[in-house]
Structure 1
Amino acid sequence: MVKQIMLVLSALILINTAYAAEQNVTLKTEQGELAGSLLMPANKSETVVLIIAGSGPTDRNGNNTQMTNNALKMVAQHFAKDGIASLRYDKRGVAASAPAAIAEQDLRFEHYVNDATGWITYLQQQHGFKRIFVAGHSEGSLVGMMATAKSSSAGFISIAGLGRSGDVVLKEQLASNPAVFEQSEPIIDKLVVGETVDNVNPLLNALFRPSIQPYLMSWIKYDPAKEIKRLSVPVLIVQGTTDIQVKEVDAKALSAAYPKAKLVIIEGMNHVLKDAPKERMANFATYMQPDTPLSESLMPAMTSFIKANESL
């Protein structure tokens, strides 16, 4: 019994020395406050990573109403264990950032970019971090890429980020269902040229309802392969081979557009950064497994990139 107690105490000591308690932080915007978590390592860090979540109503931990995987929370905890601070936040309108919600018809992609830029300034001015790396996951990759270009960040990490514009990827994803694709393609083509579509089949409302079309137009006008060329900082591009949402071709498109970037392809890693087979149902199962660890090669790749570029 005594031995068991000692083992538990030892584990608690290891956990407590890995990182200090999380600090809840807020960022004021014109529409309301955004909420986030600043996680510091046990030893003071002058380097911090801003972690940006992907598309949809995703919170600071990488979760939403449809999935709970804690992927981004795990990323932050691993960074702390490696002596690197991080800040992750709920997207505006989500969870504790609900007060900053914007009506769907008024929301634009640029709102997310401005939010990320605001957090970078906050980390510089309120906490005095000397080196800020930006890590964006999925749609957050483009958000982070554009925020990095507008700020004095030390480096950028794209995690499962698109390398092609949204209209191209949407068509590719919908092509597997010919009936849906036939109705969707004309809508996408209209959005590309800045025209909205009033009459949308109710079956397509989840994707193309009129109130969300302005946001889609504001997103698809940006080509990640062009935006990454605006950067002048070290870049790491990370992509998994069993990601069924973003393909390796996207990572390679980013790499080709920014040849100085380091490209890391992780065998067996899916979109929520966990090991999974390519089979669709088994792959999606990990989206609802909050205790499944991150793919083993992910954090060493990101940590080594940050450590190698801290002194630049």
Structure 2
Amino acid sequence: MMKAIAMAGAALLAAATTPTGVEVTIPGPQGALAGTLVDPDKDAPAILIIPGSGPTDRDGNNPLGVKGGVYRQLAEALAARGVATLRIDKRGLFGSKAAIPDANDVTIAAYAADAHAWVDMLRAKTGRKCVWLLGHSEGSLVALKAAQDPKGICGVILVSGAGRPYGEVIRAQLRANPANAPLLAAGEAALDQLEAGKRVDGATLPTPLQPLFRDNVQGFLIEAFSYDPAKLVSAIKLPVLILQGDKDLQVPVTDAELLKRGQPAATLKILPGVNHVLKPVDGDDRAANAVTYGNADLAISPAVSEAIAAFVRK
């Protein structure tokens, strides 16, 4: 009983000392960009968390089925380890909705420019000399692009990030599902065209492919397809941490290895039993793995914050 009381007391103390997130904004193209700053110690390392693809908010939730506040949990876990974080809404979405009229009218380069603007604000606001960039999933490509200009950046943390051009990633994902066999020829032809910088007529594609190649995202895809993450990381002279879960359904460990090959000085850490949304997974059942995305009660793996905090504090 005394042990239980002591544990409860420790939990209450931890909750009481977790710093409250503060809403911060910076000017965007046509309206404000918004984020949440959690700063436990002005002398601590500070990390900008760049979100993944689609309508993913600053907490890491996505109306398409990702719940549980992956980035909020990460920020809280890092704060408990004495690391500050700033997590953000992408231009055109959520708190940054006013920044542009159409959230699809974006590029990786534009997101990278926003990352630099956030870095400048955080340095000016807190007096820090530099800020770490942490990109998750698609955000890792944004971080790589932003870090081509190292001003104000301490280093780069790539979490569940592709090591191949995005066109290759989408091809592999289409081929991985046997049900896509009747769609492959049309899908690969569309990818070939977009990779060549040419738009496709989405209305001529099979119905299941139309959401993937809809007209209003083709500009984004053409630009995103032009980047090779392995080449981008090879040009970075800053410290780089590559984090990859070995239960990731979307990005295999081989992508992390490609990034490491591109930047041999990088630190590569494979996280056993961790999936794409940083949650713990037992076994190899793909359906059970996918269910964790929508399980709001399942905490992210503590191995993620442990590895990140150790790296930025080193």
TM-score range, shorter chain: over 0.9
The TM-score with structure 1 as length reference comes to 0.92
Normalising by structure 2, we get a TM-score of 0.91
Counterpart for residue 60 of structure 1:
58
Map 1:3-18; keep pairs closer than 5 Å: 11-17=11-17
| Per-residue deviation, 1:183 | 1.3
Give the C-alpha shift of residue 62 in structure 1: 0.8
Letter in 2 for 1:108: T
Q: Which runs of 5+ in 2 are unaligned?
A: none
Distance in 2 of aligned mates of 1:194 and 1:172:
20
What is the rounded CA distance, in whole Å, between the counterparts of 2:38 and 2:6 in structure 1? 27
Q: Is residue 205 from structure 1 mapped to residue 210 from structure 2 by the alignment? A: yes
Secondary structure at 2:200 match in 1 = coil
SS for the counterpart of 2:300 is coil
The within-5 A match list for 1:231-270 is 231-270=236-275
1:167-186 aligned within 5 A: 167-175=167-175, 176=177, 177-186=180-189
Q: Structure 1 stretches of 5 or more lacking a match?
A: none
Deviation at 1:7, TM superposition (A): 7.7
Correspondence for 2:192: 189
* Residue of structure 1 in register with 2:144 after alignment: 145
- Written as runs of structure 1 = structure 2, the 5 A alignment for 1:88-127 is 88-103=87-102, 106-127=105-126
CA distance in 1, matches of 2:240, 2:301: 20
**Count of equivalent residues:** 306
Deviates more, 1:183-192 or 1:129-138: 129-138
Query: Which of 298, 301, 310 does residue 304 from structure 2 map onto?
Result: 298
Would the aligned equivalents of 1:238 and 1:251 in 2 still touch at CA under 8 Å?
A: yes
User: Is 2:47–2:131's contact at 8 Å kept on the other side of the alignment?
Assistant: yes
Give 4+ residue runs of structure 1 displaced > 6 Å after superposition: 3-9
CA 226–102 in structure 1, closer or farther in 2 if over 3 Å, else same: farther
Q: Structure 2: how far apart are the matches of 1:88 and 1:60?
A: 5
Per-residue deviation, 1:152: 2.6
Residue of structure 2 equivalent to 1:271: 276
* In 2, Cα distance between equivalents of 1:294 and 1:55: 19
Q: How much has 1:161 moved relative to structure 2?
A: 0.3
What code does the residue aligned with 2:61 have?
N
Match of 1:34 in 2: 33
Q: Contact (CA 8 Å) 1:45, 1:85: kept in 2 or not?
A: no
CA-CA distance at 1:288 after TM superposition = 1.1
How far is the alpha carbon of 1:189 from its aligned partner? 0.1
The superposition leaves residues 249-289 of structure 1 with CA deviations (integer Å, 9 ceiling, x where unpaired) of: 10000000000001001111000001114322111111112
8 Å CA contact retained: 2:123, 2:129:
yes
Q: Distance in 2 between matches of 1:116 and 1:306?
A: 18
The answer to whether the Cα contact below 8 Å between 2:165 and 2:227 also exists between their aligned partners in 1 is yes
